[in-house]
Amino acid sequence: MKVWQKICLILITLVFLIGGLYYDSFYTAPKRFKVRYETITSTKISEQLNDVNILFFSDVHYNNFMNAERFDKVIQLINDTGADIVVFVGDLFDRPSSNIPSDEVVAKISEQLKSIEAPLGKFAVLGDHDLESSTSAEVVTSILNNADFEIITNRSLLIRNKGSEAISLVGLDSLTFGNPNIESAFSTVSPNIFNIVVCHTPDIADSLTPDLVDLLIAGHSHGGQAYFPIIGGIFRAQNAELYNKGKYKINDSFTLDVTNGVGTTDEDVRFLSDAEIVVYRLKRLEESTPTPISE
């Protein structure tokens, strides 16, 4: 093969490769959802909560690129995991104050969310889009309540599984358009049990007391939607600037996990930042028994 033929072959291959990546990023990837499974271990997880699965999903951005057909896939994927607990981490609609959802849309998404199964409970915090106006907050709150989600903004609750032992779930308001009250949310939280915190905006991590948090789940950043190493993501969100994608160890103490979410905004694109649902399995870590010193 002559040199010019090799060059042409390389160029044609590159064109097809770039074209394929472009097509996938704009036409396939935004509609492709995956489940990311994680396991977290702790001596503070009781035997009764061992192997409990907690599912987190965020950033639906319904009523723009996310429609009923696409969201049906998300709902099916959630139910297929068989999770014991489901937590929504904010942004149900995309800019609802300017793109007001119709009665038909509200009825449909309410029906879809209600069909989610979670034997140990469904919980939620609101995101910045949900909080754009008092009207949007009321609409989203009503939808979630009607779909059997308990909103846990700036408060904590205990979750049990066939016994008296528990884990703590703490909800914080969004830093953007919200009013997170850390003191109120943690007022009854003990460092002696396993504490999971959910907040839409991940940069709140540095404001938390490390010994009161074991796992923090956030969204908001979409993982950049289209993510390029070194450069970062094309979508950048206020209050997701310090922590914007994946898992972090905060103060050498607790884990922060920033989910990519399931929806898109501004552009319907995903590249190296898959739309995802995250499922955490709780595993009890047995405390080691000191070895006796023989005399």
Mean pLDDT in residue range 11-36: 80
Q: How far apart are the first and last CA of the chain?
A: 80
Residue 24: is its pLDDT beyond 90? no
Residue 277: is its pLDDT beyond 50? yes
Q: What is the pLDDT of residue 232?
A: 84
The closest alpha carbon to 241, from 203, 199, 200, 272, belongs to: 203
Q: Which residue has the higher pLDDT, 23 or 220?
A: 220
Q: Is the Cβ–Cβ distance between 93 and 66 less than 8 Å? A: no
User: Which tokens belong to 249?
Assistant: 């160890």
For the beta carbon of residue 249, count every other beta carbon within 10 angstroms: 9
Q: What's the pLDDT band for 295 if we cut at 50, 70, 90? A: very low
Residue 14: is its pLDDT beyond 90? no
Residue 240: is its pLDDT beyond 80? yes
The pLDDT tens digits of the residues spanning 50-67 come to 999 999 999 999 998 999
Q: Is the Cβ–Cβ distance between 205 and 212 less than 8 Å? A: no
Is residue 112 left, alpha or beta, with left meaning phi > 0 and alpha meaning psi from -120 to 50? alpha
Q: What is the pLDDT of residue 173?
A: 98
Interatomic CA distance for residues 201 and 203, integer angstroms: 6
What is the overall mean pLDDT for the chain?
92
Q: Is the Cβ–Cβ distance between 74 and 60 less than 8 Å? A: yes
Helices 134-146 & 103-114, crossing angle to 10 degrees?
40
Q: What's the pLDDT band for 290 if we cut at 50, 70, 90? A: low
Residue 250: is its pLDDT beyond 80? yes
Mean pLDDT in residue range 273-279: 97
Q: Which residue has the higher pLDDT, 128 or 288?
A: 128
pTM of the shown model: 0.93
Interatomic CA distance for residues 35 and 54, integer angstroms: 12
Residue 227: is its pLDDT beyond 80? yes
Interatomic CA distance for residues 175 and 80, integer angstroms: 32
Q: What is the pLDDT of residue 4?
A: 63
The pLDDT tens digits of the residues spanning 157-210 come to 999 998 999 999 999 999 999 999 999 999 999 999 999 999 999 999 999 999
